[in-house]
Structure 1
Amino acid sequence: MRAIILAAGMGLRLVQPEGQQKPKCLLRFGDTSAGSAADASLLERHLHYLKTAGVDEIVFVTGFKHEQIEAELAAIDWKPTTSTVVNEEFTLGSVLSVHTAREAMTRGGDVLLMDADVLYDERIIEPLVAGGSVNRLLIDRDFEAGDEPVKLCIENGVPVELRKQVAAGLKYDTIGESVGFFRFDEKTAARLADIVADYVNTGRAKMPHEEAVRDLLLEKRHVFDIADVTGAPWIEIDFPNDVTRAADEVLPQLRPLRQFAA
């Protein structure tokens, strides 16, 4: 199983101090006091949880200040070696980052497609990787209403919507927030790569990659499994108050990081 982690964006909404901007995946959370999660960057936490889950091939799609991410990876010296691909036009949409990783998307085997700017623990990753080859989405039914969360709507076990705005009159029996981590089997990953390529080739490179995933779902050519992670701690970090919530509310709920071993 291969993980592709999208880490190219500038994180403009985070409003970092001038001259101190860095990729969001390098934000650090935690301390070394007894009973707390160890101090680690979001990037290092990804490596830790994915390795624990048995994922040993990881591709980072970088862009903004990619040298900082490369330096962090070198300092961690994680084995086996991770790889990076650079989205030079990182100011466009994340759909272009997925396209930049096309080779990794289509190399065969199951693929995890993950946002880099998420603080979470193994209660999120475990259901994503469990079992044999499968397409899987994660849903959190305990979410705050509003325009920001990407909503996942399900009817009779079938995903029928994946968008921030849900159309009036849409029929569904379950709604929640998409965690932003997806799993695709080999055939479905290849189809998503083709949809993404069409976005780029038709002038839609500024779009978020969730729109391409939505198109894939609505084709209804591939069966998707839904894993409910309601109650498991996680937060996507977009705004300054998300950093505060991550440290004060989410971090204390995380299981302590075990010894990080190369």
Structure 2
Amino acid sequence: MRAIILAAGMGLRLLQPEDKQSPKCLLKFDGMSLLERHLRMLAAAGITDVVLALGFHHEQVSQELDRLNWTPRPRIYLNPEFNLGSVLTLHVTAEAMTAGGDVLVMDADVLYDQRIFNALVAGETANRLLIDRDFEVGDEPVKLCLRDGVPVELRKQVMVGLEYDTVGESVGFFRFNEATAARLADITRDYVESGRARMPHEEAVRDLLLERGAQFETADVTGFPWIEIDYPEDVKRAADEVLPQLEPLTMVSE
């Protein structure tokens, strides 16, 4: 299994001072960066083939890897146009998506419980989504809608009249088997070649779900603590509310 961590964005909504701007994956909670938490959780599951899709201040991420002395060192794919949409960031990792085996695609800016990760990686091979049914209603969460267990929507704005029986927030982590990962690479390439590079990568995943939704299973992680960090108030909530609820992280020697 291979993990692709998307960490190219500028994080403008965090309102960081210009002289202190850094990728969100370097935010630290209890002295550990989000990146280190990702790596430790992956290593605990035996996943050492890790790809970092970087852009904004990518040299700072390289410095964090130097500090951690993490081995095997994650491979880095750079998106020089990181100010465009995240679908372009996913596209630059096409080689990793099509190299065989199951592929995890994970947002870097998430603080999450190990039980959420365990639900993602359980089993030998799978197409898997994660859903949290306890979410704040609004325009910000990416909604995952299911009908009879089959995903029928993955967007912030749900189309009026859409029929579904379950709705929740997508955690931002996806698992694809070999064939499905290769198909996602094709879809993202089409986005870029057709002038849609400014779109979020969830749009490409959405197209995949509408095409192959019956091939996906959905793990319900409702009740497990996690937070996607976009705004300054999210940083505070992560530290004050989410971090204290997390199960102790399995520590693996790098």
Common fold by TM > 0.5: yes
Match of 1:150 in 2: 142
Aligned-partner residue type, residue 45 of structure 2: A
Question: What TM-score, normalized by structure 2, do the two folds share?
Answer: 0.98
1:173 aligned onto 2:165: yes
Within 5 Å, which residues of 2 pair with 1:88-107?
A: 88-107=80-99
**Separation in 1 of the partners of 2:104 and 2:249?**
22
Q: CA deviation at 1:46?
A: 0.2
Aligned-residue offset at 1:76: 0.8
Determine the structure 2 residue equivalent to 1:212: 204
Moved over 2 A (4+): 256-260
**Whole-angstrom CA distance in 1 between matches of 2:250 and 2:127:** 29
1:23 maps to 23
Please provide the CA RMSD for this pair: 1.0
Q: 1:221 to 1:120 in 2, by over 3 A?
A: closer
Which string of whole-angstrom CA distances, capped at 9 and with x for unpartnered residues, describes residues 192-216 of structure 1?
A: 0000000000000000000000000
1:67 and 2:59 equivalent?
yes
Report the CA distance between 1:176 and its aligned residue.
0.1
Q: Counterpart amino acid of 1:233? A: P
CA distance in 1, matches of 2:194, 2:109: 28
Task: Quote the Cα distance in structure 1 between the aligned partners of 2:118 and 2:253.
Answer: 19
Per-residue CA shift, 1:119-163, capped at 9, x if unaligned? Answer: 012111001000021100000000000000000000101000000
Unpaired runs of at least 5, structure 1 = 31-38
2:77 aligned with 1:85, yes or no? Answer: yes
Question: 1:81: how far off?
Answer: 1.9
Percent identical residues: 68
**Distance in 2 between residues matched to 1:220 and 1:183, nearest whole Å:** 13
How many Å apart are 1:184 and its aligned residue? Answer: 0.2
What is the TM-score with the length of structure 1 in the denominator? 0.95
User: Contact 1:188–1:222 (CA<8 Å) still a contact in 2?
Assistant: no
Number of residue pairs the alignment of both structures matches: 254
Is it true that 1:132 corresponds to 2:132 in the alignment? Answer: no
